[in-house]
């Protein structure tokens, strides 16, 4: 179920590295949203949904059904960073990059933002119960099929939706998970947490945009400039680590170059996983077929819609240019 609503700004503040954290009151969306889904956000100051169930606004003598400027025109697809199902809020974390996000950045507490969502297919690691129709409460313990250990790999702002996933997968899960492949050569045998997060960024300041350390996860960090954690790429760090601390599944998001390298690493390791992709979007609901990506094999692929068939796709099905 998706909703179109004028959500009230609960809080909106600057975090690190030119990013802002926006908390919106949207109870229906907060109940329905799953990690990896996104909201399609109007940044232009217009807040009238013009929903067919509601009467169009009358401006002057002509029913307009439209308030706000037409510039910028399109909505902005923004990943859901977290949701509080009890308080009925959803959190968006975004970087101010252009006109749209620049206007969004000016929204004050108490003002409204028109959002459409939750949209798209989110992350679905195996053993993670699909929540459609019965939203889980935060902290609800999960029944892990085969005691799986999930690696979450994020580069840059790709970590934004991964925080929501990491929280849903880790909170309430007791530590001491033995991966399904424990006992294989090279495995340390040390019980690990169910979720291992690999966070990569250009600088330490960029790492601070999302704080995974508040979650009960094993956290590994990498920076391009070596200012914190492993000096180099998060994919190198992932490869080095999982050699002696195996995982069973990878959920990832980040820049195309990182995901492409990670796809190669997964192939080497014989691991399955899922990637969240990005593309310039139009409608966000699967009708305009503007946000295309190649899905299939290098020999036989087809264009699929990032907004409706994704944004999360099986890692091995993503065909890189």
Residue 68, number of CB atoms within 10 A of its CB: 15
State the nearest-atom distance from the C-beta of 58 to other proteins, in Å.
7
Query: Residue 62 or 214: which CB sits closer to other proteins?
Result: 62
State the nearest-atom distance from the C-beta of 78 to other proteins, in Å.
15
Query: Residue 112 or 140: which CB sits closer to other proteins?
Result: 112
Say if CB 202 and CB 223 are below 8 A apart.
Answer: yes
Query: Residue 44 or 206: which CB sits closer to other proteins?
Result: 44
Say if CB 199 and CB 221 are below 8 A apart.
Answer: yes
φ and ψ at residue 148, rounded to 5 degrees: -80, 150
Query: Residue 46 or 172: which CB sits closer to other proteins?
Result: 46
State the nearest-atom distance from the C-beta of 185 to other proteins, in Å.
43
Residues that bind other proteins (CB under 8 A): 2, 4, 42, 49-52, 55-56, 58, 61-66, 69-75, 116, 279-283, 285-293, 302-303, 308
The angle subtended at Cα 30 by Cα 259 and Cα 253, nearest 5°, is 5
Q: Is the dihedral of CA 268, 273, 278, 282 positive or negative?
A: positive
φ and ψ at residue 272, rounded to 5 degrees: -100, 160
State the nearest-atom distance from the C-beta of 306 to other proteins, in Å.
9
- Length of the chain counted residue by residue: 321
State the nearest-atom distance from the C-beta of 189 to other proteins, in Å.
46
Query: Residue 103 or 235: which CB sits closer to other proteins?
Result: 103
């Amino acid at each position: 179920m998706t909703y179109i609503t004028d959500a009230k700004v609960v809080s909106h503040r600057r975090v690190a590295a030119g990013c802002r954290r926006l908390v919106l009151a949207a109870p229906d969306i907060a109940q329905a949203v799953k990690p990896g889904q996104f909201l399609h956000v109007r940044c232009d100051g217009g807040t009238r949904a013009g929903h067919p169930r509601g009467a169009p606004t009358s401006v002057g003598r002509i029913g307009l059904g439209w308030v706000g400027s037409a510039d910028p025109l399109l909505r902005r697809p923004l990943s859901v960073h977290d949701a509080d199902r009890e308080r009925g809020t959803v959190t968006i974390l975004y970087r101010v990059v252009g006109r749209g996000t620049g206007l969004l950045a000016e929204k004050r507490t108490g003002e409204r933002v028109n959002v459409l969502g939750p949209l798209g297919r989110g992350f679905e690691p195996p053993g993670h119960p699909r929540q459609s129709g019965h939203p889980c409460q935060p902290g609800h313990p999960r029944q892990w099929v085969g005691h799986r250990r999930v690696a979450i790999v994020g580069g840059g702002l790709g970590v934004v939706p991964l925080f929501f996933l990491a929280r849903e997968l880790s909170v309430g899960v007791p530590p001491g998970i033995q991966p399904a492949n424990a006992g294989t050569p090279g495995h340390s045998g040390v019980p690990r947490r169910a979720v291992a997060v690999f966070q990569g960024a250009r600088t330490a300041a960029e790492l601070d945009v999302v704080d995974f350390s508040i979650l009960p996860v094993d956290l590994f960090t990498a920076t391009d400039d070596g200012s914190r954690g492993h000096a180099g790429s998060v994919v190198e760090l992932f490869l080095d680590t999982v050699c002696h601390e195996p995982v069973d599944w990878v959920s990832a998001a980040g820049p195309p170059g990182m995901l492409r390298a990670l796809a190669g690493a997964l192939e080497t390791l014989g691991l399955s996983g899922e990637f969240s992709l990005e593309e310039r979007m139009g409608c966000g609901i699967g009708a305009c077929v503007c946000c295309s990506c190649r899905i299939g094999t290098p020999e036989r692929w087809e264009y699929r819609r990032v907004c409706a068939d994704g944004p999360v796709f099986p890692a091995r099905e993503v065909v890189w240019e």
